[in-house]
Amino acid sequence: ELKVEQNPLFLSMQEGKNYTIYCNYSTTSDRLYWYRQDPGKSLESLFVLLSNGAVKQEGRLMASLDTKARLSTLHITAAVHDLSATYFCAVDIQGAQKLVFGQGTRLTINP
């Protein structure tokens, strides 16, 4: 059974700092997603990573995928308060027809 693990689960950081959230998964997959969720809200799609070595950037967020290591990272550069949210990675396996989510990383950015 596919397992998806994120770490850390909680992250409190100061504005201006850099940090990385890690997403490990247990089965070969060619498709990984990152979502953002604000409290009580829906999931907002951030990145879709489709191949080994894929790197995508949007503003202060950058995501990468290493399918051989079964690892994706979400890197935050010079964090700002507006990035405070819970971030989820999700893995999609051909034929499974579902997303398997990590536990989520609750990110709090303090002024």
Partner 1 sequence: DSGVTQTPKHLITATGQRVTLRCSPRSGDLSVYWYQQSLDQGLQFLIHYYNGEERAKGNILERFSAQQFPDLHSELNLSSLELGDSALYFCASSAQPHVEQYFGPGTRLTVT
Binding footprint of partner 1 on the chain (CB under 8 A): 31, 33, 35, 40-45, 48, 88, 90, 92, 94, 96-101, 103-104
Shortest distance, position 15 Cβ to partner 1, whole Å: 28
- Give residue for tokens 């507006």: 82
Calpha distance 63→1 (Å, rounded): 25
Q: Which is nearer to partner 1, 8 or 16 (CB)?
A: 8
Q: Which helix (H) or strand (E) holds 31?
A: strand 31-37
Shortest distance, position 70 Cβ to partner 1, whole Å: 18
- Give residue for tokens 């609750």: 106
